[in-house]
Amino acid sequence: MWAILALAIAGIVIYLLVDHWPHVLAALPYVGIVVVISMHLFGHGGHGGHGGHGGPGGHDRTHGKGSDPT
């Protein structure tokens, strides 16, 4: 089933690139905007959202609560 789906998507992409190249170029800025918005909506769920996590500029939630970090 995955092979059939991959072949269908590849066929659609090839068709668009060969027969509708100017339309694909015209749509690229909009595709970029949709990709950035989608990454912000769906991509942040894997690390718990913004704030409260360690790393550069972040704060660790266990810091200062008397727990031993080792």
Structural domain total, the chain: 1
Residue 25 domain-assigned (yes or no): yes
10-40 pLDDT, tens digit each: 999 999 899 999 999 999 999 999 999 999 9
Dihedral class, residue 50 (left if φ above 0, else alpha if ψ from -120 to 50, else beta): beta
- Take residue 58 and report the two structure tokens written for it: 């972040």
Does an H or E element contain 29, and which? helix 21-42
Q: How many whole angstroms separate alpha carbon 7 and alpha carbon 16?
A: 14
Q: Look up residue 1 and give its two tokens.
A: 């089933």
- On whether the CB atoms of residues 21 and 15 are closer than 8 A, the answer is no
In a domain, 69, yes or no: no
User: Does the pTM exceed 0.85?
Assistant: no
Contact 54/60 with Cβ under 8 angstroms? Answer: yes
Range of the domain at 33: 2-44
> So what's the pLDDT on residue 14?
94
| pLDDT tens-digit map of 32-70 | 999 999 999 888 666 655 555 555 655 555 555 555 556
In a domain, 52, yes or no: no
